[in-house]
Structure 1
Amino acid sequence: MKKYIFVFALLLQGLWVRAQTHSQHNLLADQIDSFNWGIIGSVQFRVPKPNELYPVYNEMINRFSGRQFELEGYIVPIKDGMKQTKFMLSTIPINQCFYCGKNGIPTMIMIEMAQPIKFTFESVTVKGVLKLDNRNAAVYPPISLTGAVPVQ
Structure 2
Amino acid sequence: MKKLSLIIILLAGFGFGAKAQHDPSDQILSTNWDVIGSVDFKTVKETEMYAIFGNEIKKYANKPFELEGYIVPIKDGMKQTKFMLSTLPINQCFYCGKNGVPIMVQVELKEPIKFTYQTVKIKGTLKLSTANAMDNPPISLVGGKAL
**TM-score normalised by the chain length of structure 2:** 0.93
Structure 1: segments with no counterpart, 5+ residues: 20-26
Query: CA shift at 1:3, angstroms?
Result: 3.1
The structural deviation recorded for 1:4 is 3.2
Give the match for residue 132 of structure 1. 128
% same residue:
52
- Tell me how many residue pairs correspond in the alignment: 144
Q: Which amino acid aligns with 2:122?
A: V
The aligned counterpart of 1:37 is 33
Alpha-carbon distance in structure 2 between the residues aligned to 1:10 and 1:73: 22
Change (3 A) 1:12 1:75: farther
Distance (whole Å) between structure 2 residues aligned to residue 115 and residue 12 of structure 1: 30
| Structure-to-structure mapping, 1:97-108, within 5 angstroms | 97-108=93-104
Q: What amino acid is the match of 2:48?
A: E
Stretches of 4+ aligned residues off by more than 6 angstroms: none
Q: Which amino acid aligns with 1:44?
A: D
2:16, 2:101 within 8 Å by CA — same for their partners in 1? no
Q: 2:18 aligns with which of 5, 15, 19?
A: 15
Match of 2:140 in 1: 144
Q: Partners in 1 of 2:31 and 2:39 — Cα distance?
A: 14
SS of residue paired to 1:64: coil
Structure 1 residue 9: Cα displacement: 3.2
The DSSP-based 3-state class of the residue aligned with 2:19 is coil
The whole-number CA distance in structure 2 between the counterparts of 1:83 and 1:114 is 12
- Structure 1 residue 29, shift from structure 2 partner: 0.7
The CA deviation at 1:6 is 1.5
- Deviation at residue 11 of structure 1 after TM alignment: 5.9
* Most deviating of 1-10 and 114-123: 1-10
Shift of 1:13: 2.2
Equivalent position amino acid for 1:7 in 2: L
Using the alignment, how far apart are the partners of 1:28 and 1:13 within structure 2? 17
Q: Return the letter of the residue paired with 2:18.
A: L
Matches of 1:85 and 1:31, distance apart in 2: 23
- Unaligned stretches of 5+ residues in structure 2: none
* Structure 2 match to 1:89: 85
Greater strand share, structure number: 2
CA separation in 2, counterparts of 1:88 and 1:11? Answer: 16
SS at 1:28's partner residue? coil
Aligned CA-pair RMSD: 1.2
* Equivalent residue, structure 2, for 1:23: none
Amino acid at match of 2:12: A
Deviation of 1:10 (Å): 4.1
